[in-house]
Amino acid sequence: MLPEEKILHTKNAKSLHAIQSGVENSNRIALSADCVIFGFDENKLKVLLIRSDLKKYLGKWSLLGDLVFPKEDLAAAAYRILKQRTGLSDVYLEQVHTFGAVNRHPAGRVVTVTYCTLINVQHHKINILDNELHWHDIKSVKELAFDHQQIFETCLKQLQKRVQEHPLGFNLLPKKFSLRDLQNLYEAILDIKMDRRNFRKKFFSMDLLIDLNEMEQDVPHRPGKLYKFNFEKYEQKNKKWVGIDF
């Protein structure tokens, strides 16, 4: 207890006592962070998984997670775990949801905070392969260990929503990409087909793609033009949403 935190002598002092002794003693709970890392490769959305350590979940796949240290910021723990497990450090993690059912972890009470990101599989080489760490096509993800199936599905749904409202997808593509690449990405994430002409029209009308005046190389068909995303212009837009619709 920090010395300056004296109890106030009010009728509510008891609850404060309770909080402070709880912080120090009996009421603590193990806290973990789990990372759901999405990637895009061969026109498929993928997720990074490792083999579970626990006998109970022998052979099952699981997300990348570890306990949060008592003197570690929550987000810092997520970045540490990602770095330890994969070697990746130059990615932005976003918090998604916290899962806290009493029996979700067989080792005891562990509440887990989930973080999510999207990375370019080609640009971020995974260099730690313990526990068979590798990319799985999201269509084949099932029966994960713990409650990780639920966590994964929650993150995927959130990704599907956010990718339509923010230019997240560009993190999954090479720096230079064709409109076909971009459309493949959206189709893979949203699991739908889109009209090619309308898709182009939409993106061109946003006016956030920079035409690089370069062409695809070594494709067995007419090469497409290459673009990059205009992040500066996007930042300035600062668009805000109004539109009741449900």
Q: Pick the closer one to a copy of itself by CB: 223 or 231.
A: 231
Question: Is residue 223 near DNA by the rule CB under 7 A?
Answer: yes
Question: Is residue 212 near DNA by the rule CB under 7 A?
Answer: no
Nearest C-alpha neighbor of 189 from the set 168, 209, 207: 168
Residues binding DNA: number (CB under 7 A): 23
What is the phi/psi pair of residue 57, to 5°?
A: -115, 30
Near DNA by CB under 7 A: residue from 220, 236, 240, 241: 220
Nearest C-alpha neighbor of 226 from the set 212, 239, 243: 212
Near DNA by CB under 7 A: residue from 139, 142, 201, 233: 201
The residue type at 194: M
What is the phi/psi pair of residue 229, to 5°?
A: -90, 135
Question: How does strand 61-62 pair with strand 64-67?
Answer: unpaired
Near DNA by CB under 7 A: residue from 23, 74, 101, 215: 215
Site of tokens 């989930």 = 114
At residue 58, the 3 state secondary structure works out as coil
Near DNA by CB under 7 A: residue from 75, 91, 179, 190: 179
Question: Is residue 160 near DNA by the rule CB under 7 A?
Answer: no
Residue 201 contacts which entry, DNA, a copy of itself, none (Cβ below 5-8 A, type-dependent): DNA
| Footprint on this chain of DNA (rule: CB under 7 A) | 178-180, 195-198, 200-202, 205, 215, 218-225, 242-243, 245
